[in-house]
Every structure is written in structure tokens, then in C-alpha cells.
Amino acid sequence: MASGSNSLMWFRKGLRLHDNPSLEYAAKGSKFLYPFFVIDPHYMEPDPTAFSRGLDSLPEGVEHRKLCFEYDTEPYYQALDEKVKSYASVAGVEIFSPVSHTLYNPADIIQKFGCLSSRYFYQCIQEIQKSVKKHTSPPVSLLGQLLWREFFYTVAFGTPNFDQMKGNRICKQIPWKNDDELLAAWTDSRTGFPWIDAIMMQLRKWGWMHHLARHSVACFLTRWDLFVHWKKGRDVFDRLLIDSDWAINNGNWLWLSCSSFFYQYNRIYSSISFGKKYDPAGNYIRHFLPVLKHMPKEYIYEPWTAPVSVQRKARCTIGVDYPKPVVSHDSASKECRLRLGEAYALNKTLNGLQNRGTHLNMSAVYAAFRLTVYEDFSSLL
DNA sequence: CCTTGGTTGGGCTG
DNA sequence: CAGCCCAACCAAGG
């Protein structure tokens, strides 16, 4: 590109200066670089049909030779990029859009727009591991979490209708309930199961919770108790999580609902014993559900079992101050297992016709990981 | 064999 | 004897 030309740098998700090949390319040989960011309704209200101001807002008045932005595999951006390809050919603008290495990192930088490069983060982890004697390994380690990102990005991009049940060839077809009241109880922390309600409260208050907490509420909403469609929970997470990521969110809901990747539906996150294992005193529940603050720890995970005298002393009457369980756990979970068993049997007969189960193993994850050529970026440090 | 379960019962420690 | 850790078993689809 001859010097003296102008470049447009279109920031979408990756708002960062480090490891940003499109920004680097936009700056190279340009007389003027025009960075711009469009406030897109899609950011506020994820909706594939939402009106986008993306293209209408390209800065005018200046002749541009290059338009640079991060390539994005999410369907919303794929559709948008189609329009950009026609705009570019009319205007005679060169497009440069390398694959995204954006990482959503709410822990340190509270925002949604990926100020951290996954490749840079990978290098940081490598450096830290060199300096310590013992560390965990993939798949459960921090590095493992990066592998999952690459895996879900790869599968999501290669699977039509990845965010749907129907027409998604790796997704089990399961007759989920369409129960808006159960969904609302789950969303609004009114299920009567403190471990579940506390987690959903943290989601609404902080926009973030531990991933095993996410597993707990996803398991509860779908295959273990409420039998509500995983897409409904996916939408709530997508709207409320500050680190929401299309491929990872959908991938995990497919996983946790036993619709794909993982199928051992008898293996569950108990809404009572799972939290108790790590927090026997129930301090997490007390923090996010202050109404249960004075409930003795013997009852905090199952307050409906507390004698009335105990409830009165704790100033929390179940059914008045805090809801009774929205379902009877024993019969609800039994019903769920029955329905899943039937659905699985039916899916077996469908296999080969339309639905193909996907089995996950670590070698597939590593294969996806290698595609990202993280190793080439040691110079970033 | 598999990303991160639940339950039980034995054995150890204080 | 209480509290804790760990192994074994459970029930499973791809």
C-alpha cells in the first residue's frame, strides 16, 4: 500500500493495542488512520435481526484505501461481513480482517469488549508455569480453559445452527418443556433452592459467577429439575453475563443439558450437596440472599426442612419470606431422567438419518488449539 | 477412555 | 468420637 493512503480501523470487540494484527496492518504505510467504534444495538440487546448502524456509520469525506477489523465467527458478524464485502467492492476498498483472538476477561478488566488477547494470555500462563514447581494441567487448568475456548470456537463455526436444537446435527432432540413460570422463577432467584437462587442473584448483581456455579444452575434448569429448554437459559446468560461469548455460551449449554459433547445425565450437580461440599456454612448463600442470613447452617441448603420454630427464630418463614421449592425435587428429577432416557432412545434411531452425536476428547481439543498458532507469538512478552 | 458428581464406608488423625 | 481424606462403586453414551 502506497504511503499517503488512509485507513479505517473498525473496532468491534477487540478494543486493545497489543496483539491486534488488523490495527497493525491499518497503521502500516498509512498517512491517516481513522479508528472508529459503532454503538450497535446488538451489544445491548443480542438479537440477530436487530438493526445495525455498523455500515451506515463509516466515516465519510475522506478517501479510504483500507478497512481493517477483526474477523468474527459469530453468525451476527458473519452476516454483517457479507454486507461489508459488497460495500468494499463498490467503494474499491481493501478489506483486512484476520481471525479474532479476543478474550473476555471480567476478572481484571470489567467490560465486555475483549481488551485481552488470548494469545498474549497464553504466553503469560506459559511464563508463570516456568517459574513454579507444581501446577494443574489441562483440561481443568487455566490453560485448559483456553483450550476450551478454541474447541468451542472451532465446533461452533463448523456446525450449522449451533445455537439451535432443531437443524443442529450434533444436538440431541429433546422435548423440553415450554414453561415460562419455571423459567422466570429460575431467572429471578425464586426457585426456593438457595444454592440456585444465590447463583442467579450473583448473575443479576455482578454479571459474573464461577463456572461451576454456572454449571449448577444450567443443570438445574434443564436436565435435572425443571426440564426447561437450554436455549432459554442460554438467552438469560447471554443477556446478563459481562463475559458472554456466543460460541462458548452455546457450547456450554449444549454440554450441561446433555444435548451434545457430554451425555451422562445421571451425573448431576446437586442443588444441595454440591454447594455444601465447598461452603458448608452457606456463607455464599447468606451473602446473596440476605433473607436467609440467620438460617442455621443445618438448614441453609434446604430451608423448607427447617422446623417452623427455627424459621421463626431465623426471621425467615418459608413460603412467606423465601419461596417454597418450585418443584418437588425427587419426583421432578425422576421425571427428567425418564424423559431423557426416552429422548436418547429415540435419538438413537435418528442417528445416521439426521442427528450425529459428537463425542469429545482432549485430542480434539488440542487439535483445535493448534489451529490458533499461539506458539508463534512468543515475541509478545 | 472421558473438564470439574454422589454416596458410602474404611482408615487415619486430633 | 468427630472430622477429614480417599478409594470404590454407581450408572452411563459415545
Segment A355-374 mean pLDDT: 63
Name the more confident of A57 and A64. A64
Task: Consult the annotation and say whether A145 binds a ligand.
Answer: yes
Residue A269 Cβ < 7 Å to strand B: yes
Distance in Å from B5's C1' to A17's CA comes to 43
- Considering only A10-14, A69-73, A77-81, A87-91, which range has the smallest mean pLDDT? A87-91
Q: How far apart are CA A329 and CA A192, in angstroms?
A: 11
Residue A144 Cβ < 7 Å to strand B: yes
Position A52 pLDDT exceeds 60: no
Position A44 pLDDT exceeds 70: no
Q: How far apart are CA A242 and CA A21, in angstroms?
A: 25
Position A1 pLDDT exceeds 60: no
- Residue A67 pairs with which residues in a beta bridge? A8, A95
Q: What average pLDDT is seen over chain A?
A: 84
pTM: 0.89
A137 contacts A129 by C-beta, under 8 angstroms: no
Q: How confident is the model at residue A58 (pLDDT cuts 50, 70, 90)?
A: low
Distance in Å from B3's C1' to A141's CA comes to 9
Beta carbons within 8 Å of A272's beta carbon, 6+ residues apart: A193, A195, A301, A302
> Per residue in A144-155, pLDDT tens?
888 888 888 888
- Considering only A28-42, A232-246, A343-357, which range has the smallest mean pLDDT? A343-357
Q: In what order do the strands lie in the sheet with A94-96?
A: A30-37, A5-11, A66-68, A94-96
> Per residue in A174-228, pLDDT tens?
999 999 999 999 999 999 999 999 999 999 999 989 989 999 999 999 999 999 9
Distance in Å from B6's C1' to A267's CA comes to 8
Beta carbons within 8 Å of A59's beta carbon, 6+ residues apart: A8, A34, A36
Residue A105 confidence (pLDDT): 65
CA of A359: nucleotide with nearest C1' = C14
Residue A360 confidence (pLDDT): 65
Backbone angles phi, psi at A242, to 5 degrees: -75, -15
Task: Consult the annotation and say whether A245 binds a ligand.
Answer: yes
- Considering only A31-40, A280-289, A347-356, which range has the smallest mean pLDDT? A347-356
> Per residue in A86-140, pLDDT tens?
888 888 889 999 888 888 765 544 456 778 888 888 888 888 888 887 777 777 7
Name the more confident of A82 and A349. A82
Say how many residues make up chain A. 381
Residue A45 confidence (pLDDT): 62
Q: How far apart are CA A355 and CA A344, in angstroms?
A: 11
Residue A360 Cβ < 7 Å to strand B: yes
Position A51 pLDDT exceeds 60: no
CA of A148: nucleotide with nearest C1' = B3
Task: Consult the annotation and say whether A353 binds a ligand.
Answer: no
Segment A306-330 mean pLDDT: 95
- Considering only A1-10, A76-85, A152-161, A268-277, which range has the smallest mean pLDDT? A1-10
Bases of chain C below 7 A from a protein C-beta are 11-14
